[in-house]
Amino acid sequence: MASFLKSIYLEISTESFMKIINIATIAHVDHGKTTLTDHLLKQGGAFNSHEHVDELVMDSNALEKERGITILAKSASIEYKDYKINLVDTPGHADFSSEVERVMKMVDCVLLLVDAKEGPMPQTKFVLAKSLALGLKPIVVINKIDRKDQRAHEVIDMVFDLFVKLGATDEQLDFPIVYAIAREGIAKKEMEDTSTDLSPLFDTILEHVQPYPDKGAEPLQLQITNTSYDDYIGRIAIGRVTRGTVKANANVTICKTDGSKAPGKITKLLVYKGIRQVEVQEAQCGDIVAMAGFEDIKIGETIADPQNPEALPLLTIDEPTLSMNFLVNNSPFAGKEGKFVTTRHIKDRLERQLLSDVGLHVESIEGTDGYKVSGRGELHLSILIENMRREGFELQVSQPEVIIKTINNEKMEPVEQLIVNVPEVYSGVVIEKLGKRKGSMENMVNHNGVVTMEYIIPTRSLIGFRSEFIMDTKGEGLMDHSFLRYERHKGEVARRQNGVMISGENGAAVAFALWNLQERGIIFIRPTTAIYEGMIIGGNSRSDDLIVNPAKEKKLSNMRTSGNDEAIRLIPPLEMTLEQALEFIADDELVEVTPKSIRLRKKHLTENERKRAGKS
């Protein structure tokens, strides 16, 4: 989080009780949440006329800007007519669903965005189910109605069917509908209406959402739903004031997750004004506030009146479904590129992550210098690893593994709802591949030459499938998936079919050697790349592993030859991203992650060690 001191202004509130509405935007990834939130902020007066405002201003994290996705839930506020509306932008990817689950407790309503062409997708179902379970009444926003292939009216029927399937009440089924072109900042109550701004959406919010009731006379009660850290004022606790009034410098009681109670004091109190946080002396019930003064507070704990310390029910977050081992880097190149390389460094960093990421679990691995880290999916864990490497950490990570449970003496594994959209010509190969991976087709629709298929498939079957899917569909296929439930174990699933090329030497890769090796498979490294024994330098076209010498130079002699040397033409190497590397490795391999490099290696570096491990 950016330094608070850059955006803190002292405000002493003397106003009467303000009407406050808290709203979260929820949707599947790329359905337009953050774009819509941008225009709500701009049209709601969150920025001054002279301010330069970037696109997707709520995606402030560096990784969010690079990847074009929302990773962390973030709050902002606008004032419309005589209302203060706090907006919460949420992630759309299923791996960050714990961010969505906890902010639902802070809001009075959700804007459910649905793409006018794609309709409800896996994450749409997940976030909608969570909001309906909390009794929230969504406002449905059909976005991207300017698309040539939009089918807004058909999508509305699909949304209604989803509400029914999820057990919505009669009141929730009577949801208002707004049509929008989020990128242009336009909303309409009917498709045929003319509109130039988001006023119809603002008015719909005020018509259908009651402002938070005045509970200012009751004892203070506030649940922490998010935390962050500032270099100047320390740990920041964020939550909505459920009842009472919260004041700066007030003494409070912290109701801990273990049932105990501890005294505390609010040293700074901030509320949202636009995208900034401004310092105030007090905040009323219903508002979202940020507070300093609590160094060891956790998400889910309650800040209460010392005279009447009542705890709110603890937040319930779904359990992790995937785990990886985070290990100390012990390769020959260990310590050459990173600043933080020891077990203690990794332990401290993971403990810091646990303070703000309630969807993450960490446990030490006996007998090793490492930790088993469990999360909601591959992307969830890879984002953590990417952040660590950018901070200067070196570590090794193992192949992702699903978390198997035993329920009623039966072996159970997580399964996911998978939706794929592919051109008809590629549907056969995709059906074949998903069948081999134990996928069960639930539905298939052909719409103008594009086939949409819905599958129920084990989570472990999807590890490594995305890159294969992209190759099979020549980049024209789309796939989305999210956790569905635990089901009976499906048996063995084939993973990578091909072996790898393993360096048998230390040194630097040579163009002549790579030129000869590229006939054997795909090369992962460039000439002059530093290599060590046991490092994976490419993929083998056959099923077995191949030990090679990428440092082998051409023999030179003083004998004349009758012909010219053949020109060395190297095929560009496949330089893997972190996600691709994690998908690629087998259970006897590791990904070595440093601030400058991503390398693949065998767990046992020498051939003799691998043979001994194979016998044991």
The pLDDT value given to residue 11: 41
Question: Rounded to 5 degrees, what angle do the CA atoms 446, 95, 324 make?
Answer: 120
Strands 234-243 and 221-230, bridge-based pairing:
antiparallel
| 539 phi, psi to nearest 5 deg | -100, 135
Cα-based torsion angle of the residue sequence 407, 412, 416, 422 in order, rounded to the nearest 10 degrees: -160
Tens digits of residue pLDDT in 538-573: 999 888 999 999 998 887 766 655 545 567 888 899
Within a domain: 336? no
Place of tokens 């260990």: 334
Last residue of a domain, one of 444, 468, 488: 488
Last residue of a domain, one of 286, 304, 322: 304
Chain centroid to Cα 95, Å, comes to 5
Written as six digits, the tokens of 157 are 């029927």
Tens digits of residue pLDDT in 10-54: 343 434 578 999 999 888 877 888 888 888 888 887 666 555 556
CATH of the domain at 226: 2.40.30.10
Task: Give Cβ neighbours of residue 383 (< 8 Å, ≥ 6 apart).
Answer: 63, 71, 95
Q: Taking residues 87-116, report their average pLDDT.
A: 84
Q: In what order do the strands lie in the sheet with 19-27?
A: 74-80, 83-89, 19-27, 109-115, 139-143, 177-181, 186-188
Residues 29 and 111 in one domain: yes
Asked which of 23-27, 50-54, 248-252, 333-337 is least confident by mean pLDDT, the reply is 50-54
The pLDDT value given to residue 449: 85
Q: Taking residues 129-158, report their average pLDDT.
A: 91
- Kindly report the number of other CB atoms within 10 A of residue 408's CB atom: 5
Strands 177-181 and 521-523, bridge-based pairing:
unpaired
Helices 199-208 + 33-43 axis angle, to 10:
90
Residues 265 and 125 in one domain: no
Tens digits of residue pLDDT in 576-615: 889 889 988 988 999 999 999 999 999 999 989 888 888 7
- Strand runs (DSSP E) across 369-439, as ranges? 370-375, 395-397, 401-402, 405-407, 410-423
Residue 134's closest CA among 89, 165, 100?
A: 100
The pLDDT value given to residue 565: 55
| 442 phi, psi to nearest 5 deg | -100, -30
The pLDDT value given to residue 248: 92
Burial status of residue 523 (CB atoms within 10 A of its CB: 0-12, 13-18, 19 or more) = buried
Strands 521-523 and 535-540, bridge-based pairing:
antiparallel
Residues 444 and 528 in one domain: no
Residue 376's closest CA among 400, 349, 409?
A: 400
SS3 53: coil
Q: How many domains, the chain?
A: 4
| 465 phi, psi to nearest 5 deg | -80, -30
CA distance 383 to 377: 10
Tens digits of residue pLDDT in 183-208: 899 999 998 888 889 999 999 999 99
CATH of the domain at 483: 3.30.70.240
Burial status of residue 213 (CB atoms within 10 A of its CB: 0-12, 13-18, 19 or more) = exposed
Within a domain: 454? yes
Within a domain: 542? yes
Contact (CB, 8 A) for 317 and 311 = no
Residues 144 and 252 in one domain: no
CATH of the domain at 34: 3.40.50.300
Identify the domain containing residue 421 by its residue range: 405-488
Which amino acid is residue 475, in one-letter code? G
Residues 251 and 166 in one domain: no
Within a domain: 390? no
DSSP per-residue string spanning 142-177:
EE-TTSTT--HHHHHHHHHHHHHHTT--HHHHS--E
Residues 126 and 272 in one domain: no
Within a domain: 250? yes
Residues 431 and 453 in one domain: yes
Within a domain: 214? no
Residues 98 and 50 in one domain: yes
Contact (CB, 8 A) for 601 and 331 = yes
Residues 53 and 128 in one domain: yes
Residues 241 and 272 in one domain: yes
Tens digits of residue pLDDT in 254-305: 999 888 999 999 999 999 888 888 999 999 999 999 999 888 888 889 999 9
Residues 519 and 595 in one domain: yes
CA distance 296 to 270: 19
Asked which of 120-134, 169-183, 204-218 is least confident by mean pLDDT, the reply is 120-134
Share of the chain above pLDDT 70, in %: 92
Residues 342-365 as b/e (b if ≥16 CB within 10 A, e otherwise) read ebebbbebbeeeeebbbbbebeee
Written as six digits, the tokens of 486 are 């635990």
CA distance 68 to 595: 22
Q: Residue 591 pairs with which residues in a beta bridge?
A: 397, 600
DSSP classification of residue 52: -
Written as six digits, the tokens of 59 are 């995606």
Residue 9: pLDDT band (50, 70, 90) is very low
Q: How far is CA 201 from CA 59, 92, 181, in A?
A: 22, 21, 11
Residue 279's closest CA among 88, 4, 44, 83?
A: 4
SS3 track for 64-120: HHHHCCCCCCEEEEEEECCEEEEEEECCCCHHHHHHHHHHHHHCCEEEEEEECCCCC
Contact (CB, 8 A) for 487 and 417 = no
CA distance 336 to 320: 33
Residues 79 and 51 in one domain: yes
DSSP classification of residue 534: T
Written as six digits, the tokens of 459 are 């989570």
Q: Could you tell me the pTM of the whole model?
A: 0.84
Within a domain: 136? yes
Within a domain: 300? yes
The pLDDT value given to residue 2: 41
Written as six digits, the tokens of 531 are 């290599």
Last residue of a domain, one of 274, 304, 334: 304
CA distance 486 to 414: 4
SS3 45: coil
| 516 phi, psi to nearest 5 deg | -70, -35
- Kindly report the number of other CB atoms within 10 A of residue 45's CB atom: 12
CATH of the domain at 587: 2.40.50.250
The pLDDT value given to residue 554: 81
